[in-house]
């Protein structure tokens, strides 16, 4: 009896650990997005300060390519939009994960209690 | 603080101390990184002063690698190319560039000023935790000695 519960506890614990790994992976992905967002916001601010007199170049590989100011602005705006969307996506993903791992924690706690009770009974018999 | 430190057990305090130490390390390295970047901007801004009318047309040595230089002439002292981030470079005149650097330096100063109080707060918290820990250890000690004293008697 106790052994069966122990096995179940073990597998549930492994599942839970896997889940925690996923959570931290998503967390770091989110943080990276946040950094990109900040960087792109800074670039946007700089581009907004420019006028037609300034020439904008884009670094593609090792070469600088001349680019239209409006085009550069549009690219950065699009990028910001994409990053914001991604952050939102991760946010909902993380919330969902949080909820699931909370549930899992409860399952684990009750299993642990069951295991302890079963162990107590086994000792009582001996 | 919502939690009373004296109510926590020693292992809990140990954990809290570790956590605070990690946070302090993170904040300290953040400030260090910001300062490095700030120094770079200050250096770049200072080197702009070479680009003035008096130096136009003068000869200079351009580093092709760190150990090889070729002679060149300073043909344009009014325009520079600035990296604004994410692979975009903008041609600006010297005046605008100086402002650009000033903006960046001010921005970094503000960021550092934002982090500094948080770091101090964490330091104070860590100190408080250590104090409570010491107190608890002392209590434990005196309890043990008094117990062994009564056992002997």
**What is the tens place of the pLDDT at every residue in A30-55?**
999 999 999 999 999 999 999 888 89
Which chain B residues touch A57 with a CB distance below 8 Å? 81, 88-91
Question: For A73-82, A117-126, B83-92, B97-106, which range has the lowest pLDDT when averaged over its residues?
Answer: A117-126
Any idea of the CA torsion for B17, B20, B22, B26, to the nearest 10 degrees? -160
**What is the tens place of the pLDDT at every residue in A23-36?**
999 999 999 999 99
Is residue A122 over pLDDT 90? no
Q: Which residues of B touch A (CB under 8 A)?
A: 81, 84-92, 96, 100
DSSP codes of every residue in B1-33: --S-GGGS-HHHHHHHHHHHHHHHHHHHHHHHH
Q: Does B88 sit within 8 Å of A42, measured CB to CB? A: no
Place of tokens 């062994």: B148
The confidence score (pLDDT) of residue B153 equals 53
Report, as an integer, the average pLDDT of A112-118.
88
Which chain B residues touch A70 with a CB distance below 8 Å? none
Report, as an integer, the average pLDDT of A65-75.
94
Tokens of B4: 């009373």
Average pLDDT per consecutive 10 residues, chain B (153 residues; last block may be shorter) = 77 94 97 97 94 90 94 92 94 93 96 96 95 92 82 56
Degrees to nearest 5, angle at CA A19 with A15 and A23: 170
Cα–Cα distance list, B24 to A38, A77, B34, B126, B131 (Å): 23, 35, 15, 9, 18
The confidence score (pLDDT) of residue B147 equals 80
What is the spatial distance between Cα B118 and Cα A64, in angstroms, rounded to a whole number?
41
Report, as an integer, the average pLDDT of A70-79.
95
Beta strands in A10-89 (DSSP E): 55-60, 63-67
The confidence score (pLDDT) of residue B72 equals 94
- Interface probe with B: pick from A28, A33, A42, A79, most Cβ of B within 10 Å: A42
């Amino acid at each position: 009896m106790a052994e069966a519960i122990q096995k179940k506890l073990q597998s549930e614990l492994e599942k839970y650990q896997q889940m925690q790994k996923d959570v931290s992976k998503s967390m770091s992905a989110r943080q990276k997005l946040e950094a990109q967002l900040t960087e792109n916001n800074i670039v946007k601010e700089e581009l907004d300060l420019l006028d037609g007199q300034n020439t904008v170049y884009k670094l593609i590989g090792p070469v600088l390519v001349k680019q239209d100011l409006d085009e550069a602005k549009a690219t950065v705006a699009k990028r910001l939009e994409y990053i914001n969307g991604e952050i939102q996506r991760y946010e909902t993903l993380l919330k969902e994960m949080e909820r699931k791992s909370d549930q899992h924690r409860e399952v684990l706690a009750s299993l642990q209690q069951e295991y302890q009770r079963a162990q107590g009974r086994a000792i009582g018999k001996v | 603080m919502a939690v009373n430190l004296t109510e926590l057990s020693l292992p809990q305090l140990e954990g809290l101390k570790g956590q605070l130490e990690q946070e302090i390390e993170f904040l300290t390295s953040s400030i260090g990184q910001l300062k490095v970047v700030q120094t770079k901007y200050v250096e770049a801004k200072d080197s702009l002063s070479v680009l003035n009318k008096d130096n136009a047309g003068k000869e200079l040595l351009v580093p092709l690698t760190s150990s090889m230089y070729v002679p060149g002439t300073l043909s344009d002292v009014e325009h520079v190319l600035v990296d604004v981030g994410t692979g975009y470079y903008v041609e600006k005149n010297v005046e605008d560039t100086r402002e650009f650097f000033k903006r960046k330096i001010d921005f970094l100063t503000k960021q550092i000023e934002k982090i500094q109080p948080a770091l101090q707060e964490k330091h104070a918290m860590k100190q408080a935790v250590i104090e409570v820990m010491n107190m608890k250890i002392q209590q434990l000690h005196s309890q043990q000695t008094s117990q062994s004293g009564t056992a002997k008697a």
